Structure 1
Amino acid sequence: MKIRKPELSFWQIWNMNVGFLGIQYSFGLQQSAINPIFLFLGAKEEILPILNIAGPVTGLIVQPLIGAISDKTWSAKWGRRKPFFLIGAVLGSLCLFAFPLSPALWFAVGLLWILDVGNNMAMEPYRAFVGDKLPDKQLSMGYQMQSLFVGAGILLANASIFLFQDWFGGGQEVEGTIPKWLYYSFFIGSFLSVATILWSVLKTPEIPPSDEELKEINKHKALPFIERFKMPFIEISQAVKEMPKFMWKLSAVYLFQWYALFIYWQFITPLFKATMGYDTSEAAAQAAKMSTTYNIVTAVVALILVPLTVRYGGKKIYALSLFGTALALFAIPHISDPVYVLIPMVLFGIGWAAMMGIPYSMVSKIVPQERRGVYMGILNMMIVIPMGIQTLTFGSIFKNLLGANSVNAILFAGVFFAIASILAMRLNVSKEENSG
């Protein structure tokens, strides 16, 4: 029997999503500060993609496994999803504190692996947590509220980078060392990672499982350890076989969308070194301003997208937003003024708000409640597989086909966003069409 979920107030949905602020602050540092740190520690531009392979690999393994395990978890004291994103937040917090103290490139790369495990452990159950709590009519609000905190978290992370450089920077770059001004952003992230998650954990009770779900959970607990160990892998395999057609179509959109996003995050700093003649610190600060701008837009428009998707449909708003992101990337390399180049970030911010909210609300409506965790994990696999492909292939494409030119890299990403927008027009949320 399906549990009837009560509607939540605006502030209850707000409190439920506050923890995403800390997770996304960490993600913002990964977007704008990790690759500059690699460059500070001596990495060559052409190896940046492979140095970022931690994200795709850990996301591919951790998120679906945690999703499947949390589906079969319940504690009257701790709940179902909360233990996982709390442990992930603590792990991420420790890594963020240690990151700017990295003495060498290999140490920073190793920390990125651990940080990604923590972030992925927190991210997936959080997506399922929102779906668990909200009735179908409030799912768009819930996931767009997450999108708002995505924008706010990344905004704070990136604003801290260029503000701290302005306040505490200056002086000549020393090869092989990380500037002291960059430390403060990571220390703040270390605090926010735990503090915001604790806010949501303490403010939001989870809905207990139904009698049928509880019976299934207890049956799972009674299995021998080896059977319980194998069960998440079996769950993932079965869920993929029975996956709604909508998710297969979405995977094609995600292939181009996330491949392009990873190119942007890796090559926006090298782009400003090439087009504006900046050193690494100046280019990193300009990249942070770009990210700050588009995340301000994301935070502002995230909830505005809710009535628009209701009126015009999620598919149309999503596709149009992706096309706008493509236009932004086509424009950026041709603007040399550090202020005017922020203008395309308005389109990028609208696109980012749509990407972080609309697909999750669409998927959450068509997957079964008792398997929401594993399907949210599979949705993340559709993100990290394109990222993994990008890290393995784009270094060679950048060097051999694009002339090791960061301008061409950003334009290449724009083409992929345009393709993603066309493929998004094939998305239809119909329970009859999407039945497994």
Structure 2
Amino acid sequence: MSSATPAAPLLTTRPRLSPFAIWNMCVGFFGIQIGFGLQNANTSRIFQTLGAEVESLAILWIAAPLTGLLVQPIIGHMSDKTWSNRLGRRRPYFLVGAILTTLALIAMPNSPSLWFAAAMLWIMDASINITMEPFRAFVGDNLPEEQRTTGFAMQSFFIGAGAVFASCLPWLLSNVFDVASTAPDGVVPDSVRIAFYVGAAGLFAAVLWTVLSTREYSPEQLDAFEAHRARLAGEPAPVPHAAAPARTPRGYVLGGLIWLLVGGAAFYGVWAFGIEKELYILSGFVAAFGVLQILVGGFHAAKNVNGVTEVVDDIFRMPRTMRDLAVVQFFSWFALFSMWIYTTAAVTSVHYGTTDTTSPAYNAGADWVGVLFGVYNGVAALAAFAIPVLARRTGRKGAHAINLILGALGFLGIFLIRDPQLLWLPMIGVGFAWASILSMPYAILSGALPARKMGVYMGVFNIFIVVPQLVAATILGLVLKSFFDGQAIFALVIGAGAFGVAALMALRVRET
């Protein structure tokens, strides 16, 4: 990729990049998704092996969304303000996150206890988020508007390919290389453990490829791109930072008090009525956002502008396109999280007829879930090439709605089909939805964001991925226990409904 140097004249528009340059930019996502895929397909299996009950799986997964909620906006803000002549803005975070994720992947399958495994999930997810968040901004930084759909679709291809590799690893090791897929009670099977080791090596190598094979535009060059775009649009020249807070100090304090009171009342209600303790987390999140607003109001009153005030101001200034997409993201990721948490428990109990984690039937079913996850990720890798074509015919939001409906039909198929060997069929629909979720919202959003704020807004956008996961992790176990006799398969039916709502809301997005 070409990059401006201080001595060279600044470009006014981003040049188109070659397919090979886009490939180099996105190949790191192959490695990220190896780690993410191993986590998604095997974490519930590891938790159950170490003694977790089905009803507690969701709360043990809470580390992932909470970590992303905190880490991604911070890393986005920091990467916007980072510049190194050697590694640029985003690549330092690629490298540090990859090192930490590699170490976490090695430690996770060797967890001596359930709580150690939950802690490793927390560390692993934080590390993945450090690496992953700047990759979204990386495409927005370096590609012209007309190539961004292709760039995010290329990321979807590598995400799908990495996840296929990761999801199928335990099955391949046990069925092709004759590595043991069963183990004594409380011990993670060798097939899972070795899969994590292989995945750690693959993740680090892929991210290092992108770090070494790409370059970035300097902050001054990005400002020149934005100034030229503003001139063409007849808009005022962009400024690096907003001169005034998004709200008055009084407005922040009053709004924060409302959030704090609502969260406190919910917290008390959970205690007073003996509701499931998982809801403490959701009410605590509401109260914490209230405290954050009060804190920011105090900073602004004292004329103390810092990273916290900038990020919160950016949240309340988000473009309307981003607000519309937030609703779509909420229901889409609620559905996905229901699948990641409960598919192993659903398939092993319904299609293989057992909940005994030491039995051959359970482990065969768990391995098959890994293959099914590989199928939907493989479909996503191929669908990534079709999505830009569909988007040119239906528009980006129309294409996204169609793919989300396919995902809803896929979830219903898992519920309706009883022969486990046919479960790959509904995974085709899930694959199209997954490919679209990984590309279309970002392609729509990137055109509405200022270049100097690309990182922080991509990080803030992650809030609308994290919050539905937080909601799913806190209420799905309660809903299944209260209304469906604890049967995990009904989590996928709920997920199908969430995909349907997301598809309808996608059609209402106002594009820039």
1:134 and 2:216 aligned: no
TM normalised by structure 1 equals: 0.92
Post-superposition CA distance 1:64-90 (Å, at most 9, x none): 000011111111122101001110110
Distance 1:212 1:172 in 2: 54
Unpaired runs of 5+ in structure 2? 1-9, 225-238, 242-301, 355-360
Query: What is the aligned residue count?
Result: 420
1:425 maps to: 507
Q: Which residues in structure 2 correspond to 1:174-323 (within 5 Å)? A: 174-210=184-220, 231-276=306-351, 277-278=353-354, 279-323=361-405
Post-superposition CA distance 1:395-429 (Å, at most 9, x none): 11111122201222211111111111111111121
1:122 maps to: 131
The verdict on how the C-alpha distance between 1:76 and 1:3 changes in structure 2, with shifts beyond 3 A counting, is: farther
1:221 maps to: none
Does the CA-based 8 Å contact 1:144-1:353 persist in structure 2? yes
Distance 1:59 1:156 in 2: 24
CA drift at 1:304: 1.6
Computed over aligned residues only, the root mean square deviation of the Cα atoms, in angstroms, reads 2.0
Distance 1:200 1:103 in 2: 35
Of 14-23 and 271-280, deviating more is: 271-280
Letter of the 1:205 counterpart: R
Unpaired runs of 5+ in structure 1? 218-226, 431-436
CA drift at 1:216: 6.1
Does the CA-based 8 Å contact 1:147-1:298 persist in structure 2? yes
Of 14-23 and 270-279, deviating more is: 270-279
CA drift at 1:168: 3.0
Distance 1:233 1:26 in 2: 30
Letter of the 1:197 counterpart: V
TM normalised by structure 2 equals: 0.79
Post-superposition CA distance 1:164-210 (Å, at most 9, x none): 12233457542111111111210111112211111011110111121
* Larger relative contact order, structure 1 or 2 (CA cutoff 8 Å, min sep 6): 1
Distance 2:328 2:397 in 1: 11
Percent pairwise identity: 38
Distance 2:481 2:511 in 1: 40
Partner-residue secondary structure (3-state), 1:404: coil
CA drift at 1:3: 4.6
Distance 1:104 1:48 in 2: 15
Distance 1:39 1:49 in 2: 12
Partner-residue secondary structure (3-state), 1:206: coil
Letter of the 1:136 counterpart: E
Distance 1:369 1:264 in 2: 35
Partner-residue secondary structure (3-state), 1:367: coil
The verdict on how the C-alpha distance between 1:216 and 1:416 changes in structure 2, with shifts beyond 3 A counting, is: closer
1:340 maps to: 422
Of 171-180 and 129-138, deviating more is: 171-180
Of 141-150 and 399-408, deviating more is: 399-408
Q: Over alpha carbons, which structure has the higher Rg? A: 2
Distance 2:487 2:100 in 1: 37
2:32 maps to: 23
Does the CA-based 8 Å contact 2:94-2:211 persist in structure 1? no
The verdict on how the C-alpha distance between 1:345 and 1:211 changes in structure 2, with shifts beyond 3 A counting, is: closer
1:97 maps to: 106
2:431 paired residue among 349, 355, 360 = 349
Does the CA-based 8 Å contact 2:149-2:440 persist in structure 1? yes
Distance 2:76 2:191 in 1: 37
Letter of the 1:25 counterpart: I
Does the CA-based 8 Å contact 1:165-1:182 persist in structure 2? no
CA drift at 1:290: 1.0
Does the CA-based 8 Å contact 1:269-1:280 persist in structure 2? no
1:55 maps to: 64
2:119 maps to: 110
1:433 maps to: none
1:434 maps to: none
Distance 2:42 2:366 in 1: 7
Distance 1:352 1:140 in 2: 15
Distance 1:234 1:169 in 2: 52
Distance 2:307 2:204 in 1: 27
